[in-house]
Amino acid sequence: MTTLITDTKTLDVFCRGLAKAEYITVDTEFMREKTYYPQLCLIQLAGPDTAAAIDPLAPGIDLKPVFDLLADPGILKVFHAARQDIEIFYQLTGVVPAPLFDTQVAAMVCGFGDSVGYETLATKLVNARIDKSSRFTDWSHRPLAPHQLDYALADVTHLRIIYDKLSAMLEKNGRASWLTEEMAVLSNPATYDADPMDSWRRLKPRTNSTKFLAILREIAAWREIEARKRDLPRNRLLRDEALLEIAARVPNNADELAKIRALSKGFAEGPMGRQLLEAAQRGLDLPKEQRPELPQKADLPAGRGPILELLKVLLKLRCEEHQAAQKLVANSADLEAIAADDNADTPALRGWRREIFGEDALALKHGRLALTADGSSVRVVPVHELEPAP
């Protein structure tokens, strides 16, 4: 029978039992379509021998036992694709659950490909089939049906076996330290403390006009702060296209602002319209030396284009050899940076990534390694092995 906890006393007893576990598996169900912050609708927790769903919307329930459990440094918290779940708990408590184990990242380290889904791991490692019919359910609606709770709990019960098997793989292949490096990022509160003044970057502007970017930064920050205040999705408050058009046209008054598509006359003439115009003016008034700029993409020196292509082949080979996801080791920007600069500030030249790829990438770039084909496969060989014997 599916367990749903709806009162603080039962929750406290359940969490006290989990406090003795070496690890717990964790998942959440939430809604975000109508709010800026995710609305937590369900918490699923499991230990090695027990599991339950907790209803955070139940009248009078106090989630402190859950929060205390997640903050306990002696218990490993196992998630799949943890970032959004952790963001929710961090917003509610100001504390990042730690220590962490993300099975999606662990699977990428162990050769299951890029951003592998939970259903794929459940099929491959547990031989379980996940019923996807409840995936897009309204988790805020009460009462929850038994099939919804079964679906939700499957996300933590199968996760136990997935964790056990991935842990064994990491022990066998000696890559636990790789995962530790990645978990350090997820455990850092700065990962979830987004500065409103950086929100303009997600709009991916295509011009490097510093005047345009200064205005865009100010009005995007205003929208971000206002959306948080009102707990509204950004685009419900003001669409991305409107921000880009305002930064390009720079309206000076409510009448000009009202001519922007997706803005009503009432919005333009009201308090938010006035605040938006003030934000645009702040950007316009910024001295040139204080205006933001887009990062300049380094032009590859002449002749380095083919090197970039060789690095792509090397990356594929090394990732196949080490059974690691390419996305986790290096992306196109990393390869371009290495092709242009031996000392590029890129993760691919640090830590375990340098060990399995970065060192060889530099050696290939400088002619100490070569790629050869034998008709059916490509190999990496030291150049001295290709030199004819005297």
CA angle in degrees (0–180, nearest 5) for 66-70-72: 115
Residue boundaries of the structural domains of the chain: 3-191, 196-290, 304-385
Q: Which residues contact 102 (CB under 8 A, 6 or more apart)?
A: 79, 80, 81, 82, 179, 182, 183, 186
- Mutual angle of helices 64-71 and 83-93, in 10-degree steps: 120
Give the residue carrying structure tokens 């603080």: 8
Q: What are 299-330's pLDDT values in tens digits?
A: 666 667 888 999 999 999 999 998 899 999 99
Q: What are 238-292's pLDDT values in tens digits?
A: 999 999 999 999 999 999 999 998 888 999 999 999 999 999 999 999 999 999 9
Q: What are 141-158's pLDDT values in tens digits?
A: 999 999 999 999 999 999
DSSP 122: I
Mean pLDDT, the chain, integer: 92
304-385 maps to CATH 1.10.150: yes
In this prediction, residue 373 carries a pLDDT of 86
Extract the runs of DSSP E, i.e. beta strands, from the chain: 4-5, 23-31, 39-46, 51-54, 76-79, 100-102, 369-373, 378-382
DSSP 325: -
- Fold for 196-290, please state it: DNA polymerase; domain 1 (1.10.150)
- Burial of 291-330, coded b for 16+ CB within 10 Å and e otherwise, reads bbeeeeeeeeeeebeebbebbeebbebbbeebebbbebbb
34, two tokens: 């109508």
DSSP tally for the chain: helices H, then strands E = 18, 8
Q: What are 32-68's pLDDT values in tens digits?
A: 999 999 999 999 999 999 999 999 999 999 999 999 9
Give the residue carrying structure tokens 């009248």: 59
Instruction: Answer whether residue 124 shows pLDDT above 90.
Output: yes
Can you say whether residue 262 is alpha, beta or left, with left for phi > 0 and alpha for psi between -120 and 50 degrees?
A: left
154, two tokens: 């499957």
**CATH classification for the domain delimited by 3-191, as one of 3.40.50.300, 2.40.100.10, 3.30.420.10, 3.20.20.70:** 3.30.420.10
386 — pLDDT class (breaks 50, 70, 90): low
Global pTM exceeds 0.85: yes
In this prediction, residue 377 carries a pLDDT of 84
Same fold? 3-191, 304-385: no
In this prediction, residue 55 carries a pLDDT of 98
